[in-house]
Structure 1
Amino acid sequence: MFNTSEGEVTLTHDDKEYTFPTVTGTENETGVDISRLRADHKKITLDYGFANTAPCRSAITYVNGETGELRYRGYKIEELADQASFPEVAYLLINGELPSKAELEEYEAELRGHTLLNEEMKALFDAFPRGAHPMGILSSATAGMSTFYERYHDPKDADAVKESTVRLMAKLPTVAAFAYKKSIGQPYMYPRNDLDYSSNFLQMMFGLPVEEY
């Protein structure tokens, strides 16, 4: 049996009472924090498919599968898809707010400065068999790419995390495009920094060196 009072919920079982703090959900629902249930009381809960369990606190996303609702930082995904570019949404997710015009221009310039891969990475792509799945190549190449930037590995260094985030955002389209080109036996297409983020990705994926995409 549950009894609710302000700020806490009491569970009664076998004439024993267990008190848990309450939390407020994104939609102002009252939640019960049972994270200490097993550690403190040697009991567990059963929630098939985690249908009524939040795995974490998040200021980034809100998902409601029943209503088909997805929000990033409070913005509806439909609005972002219609009105914002990919780099704008990435900036929002990372920084918590949409960029101003000047901030977006600076961010896009940072991304353009890191689109190229180290040429030695091509040997890694070439080592995969022709029939390798692009996702397998992508995941392996992403892990391999970290070996070129070991000075940015410290997760407690804010500057290193920021630099790694920018490099990943800039280079992953190139990695993904190289993986796809490898899988279909076509030449790799290098990034073009005169194009916007999405257009550049498309030309690396579907362009050919013999003609303008």
Structure 2
Amino acid sequence: MRERFYRQQDDTIPTGAKQMTTCDYVPGLGGIPAAQSRVSYVDGQAGQLEYRGIPITELAEHSNFLETAFLLIWGHLPTPEDLSLFQYEVIHHRRIKYRLVDMMKCFPERGHPLDAIQATVAALGLYHSRRAFNDPAYIRRAVVRLLAKIPTAVAAFEHIRKGNDPLRPRDDLNYAANFLYLLSEQEPDPQKAHIFDQCLILHAEHTMNASTFSARVTASTLTDPYAVVASAMGTLGGRLHGGANEEVMQMLTDIGSVENVKPYLDQQLAQGRRIMGFGHRIYKVKDPRAQIMQGLAEQLSENYGCDRYYGIALALEKAVEERLGDRQIHANVEFYSGLIFRQLGFPADIFTSLFAIARVAGWLAHWKEQLDTNRIYRPSQIYMGQHDQPYIPVVDR
């Protein structure tokens, strides 16, 4: 909500406050443009999302994650030769240094996986940071390394915290299939790998969200891209951002059955609590990514057996639409992503790390765009405190 403040000396201002000029204060910077960008576009009223002008529905149906990442970062769809070279580079940079693995072995087993990956990404900068921003080859190597190594690190920590050694990546598997193999040590099911790849596309970018803003602010200082991605990961982990999909699964577990959906919803609303996975700062209709993900969840249920949580989710979405639809509160991407990740066999506490694997593409696209016309972010504030206060010696306090 936008509020107009005029600072003057009256009963509402702390004694000693100085006069200030008229200015606008917008909590959370809601709706305030923070950058000019060509990376992605959202129309919240129409439920439309585009990457570089291409509808997300088209990309999810026809593209793959690495092609989409190339599109986001370099601004155009790759030629067959460009894509082949890009895929080759990513495949051959998947391995991580043994010292990074040794570092992860020192992390507490109960630590959150995203925190472990954030620390590991920051440590990558110790090996690869040159900050040669005028060197296209450096920028490309940074992009390739981050896209290639982060899935390996996510899978490695999952094994390490169970007391096992991580697996070596397989050069014969594509991006999504290799990650599934690294987690399970089993030949991945092709359809499951394809669905996971589609999920990566759907999570890859979403304009100036909190983590992307964090990435651009960090990038504007001209620090290295590993620090940029690490700072974005720290922002992503909050329950109001990427961590929401973990909260959704906990909510569905707490509900327990279709019969308990309406009593649970009534109780949450009566207590003024948020229903996780519903509502969005931008979308006033159902999130277009949620539309696609619902279809993916249906495919998994039809082909591999109906997940009981899927039935609970459908009943909950119907009940929320009935109660809150007129308030423009609808399912968002996190509502169905947790369901799909669970059906694919992922532990709930790595859901946000999976989100991060995908969103690295968007963060890097914004990092590269920020470098093109960089100016360090330095917003102002509205000071609400006092002025000209005397210092009181400690003995007199």
What is the TM-score normalised by the length of structure 2?
0.40
The answer on 1:191 being equivalent to 2:169 is: yes
Q: Which amino acid aligns with 2:111?
A: A
Say which is worse superposed, 154-163 or 167-176, in terms of deviation.
154-163
Give the aligned partner of residue 133 of structure 1.
112
Q: Which amino acid aligns with 2:109?
A: R
Q: Is the 8 A contact 2:105 2:161 kept in 1?
A: no
Aligned residues: 169
Of 173, 185, 194, the match for 2:151: 173
Say which is worse superposed, 138-147 or 174-183, in terms of deviation.
174-183
After TM superposition, list the pairs within 5 Å mapping 1:85-104 onto structure 2: 85-104=64-83
Instruction: Give, in angstroms, the shift of residue 185 of structure 1.
Output: 3.9
* Greater share of residues in helix: 2
Q: Gapped runs of 5+ residues in structure 2?
A: 1-19, 189-397
Give the aligned partner of residue 35 of structure 1.
none
* Greater share of residues in strand: 1
After TM superposition, list the pairs within 5 Å mapping 1:65-76 onto structure 2: 65-76=44-55
Give the aligned partner of residue 321 of structure 2.
none
Give the aligned partner of residue 283 of structure 2.
none
CA distance in 2: counterparts of 1:42 and 1:155, whole angstroms: 39
Q: 1:181 to 1:62 in 2, by over 3 A?
A: same
Q: Which amino acid aligns with 2:151?
A: P
Q: Is the 8 A contact 1:174 1:191 kept in 2?
A: yes
Instruction: Give, in angstroms, the shift of residue 90 of structure 1.
Output: 0.5
Instruction: Give, in angstroms, the shift of residue 170 of structure 1.
Output: 1.1
Deviations 1:18-60 (A, max 9, x none): xxxxxxxxxxxxxxxxxxxxxxx95422445544422211100
The answer on 1:158 being equivalent to 2:136 is: yes
After TM superposition, list the pairs within 5 Å mapping 1:18-167 onto structure 2: 42-150=21-129, 152-167=130-145
The secondary structure found in structure 1 opposite 2:41 is strand
Give the aligned partner of residue 362 of structure 2.
none
Q: Gapped runs of 5+ residues in structure 1?
A: 1-40
Instruction: Give, in angstroms, the shift of residue 68 of structure 1.
Output: 2.9
Instruction: Give, in angstroms, the shift of residue 168 of structure 1.
Output: 0.9
Instruction: Give, in angstroms, the shift of residue 148 of structure 1.
Output: 1.4
CA distance in 1: counterparts of 2:42 and 2:162, whole angstroms: 36
Q: Which amino acid aligns with 1:115?
A: R
Deviations 1:148-171 (A, max 9, x none): 123x33333332111111111111
Q: Which has the higher contact order (CA 8 A, sep 6+)?
A: 2
What is the TM-score normalised by the length of structure 1?
0.72
Q: Which amino acid aligns with 1:82?
A: E
Q: 1:184 to 1:43 in 2, by over 3 A?
A: farther
Q: Is the 8 A contact 2:42 2:48 kept in 1?
A: yes
Identity within the alignment, %: 30
Q: 1:142 to 1:173 in 2, by over 3 A?
A: same
Deviations 1:111-158 (A, max 9, x none): 1121111112111110001111100000000111111123x3333333
When the two chains are superposed, the root-mean-square deviation of aligned CA atoms in Å is: 2.1
The answer on 1:182 being equivalent to 2:173 is: no
CA distance in 1: counterparts of 2:48 and 2:153, whole angstroms: 31
The answer on 1:203 being equivalent to 2:152 is: no
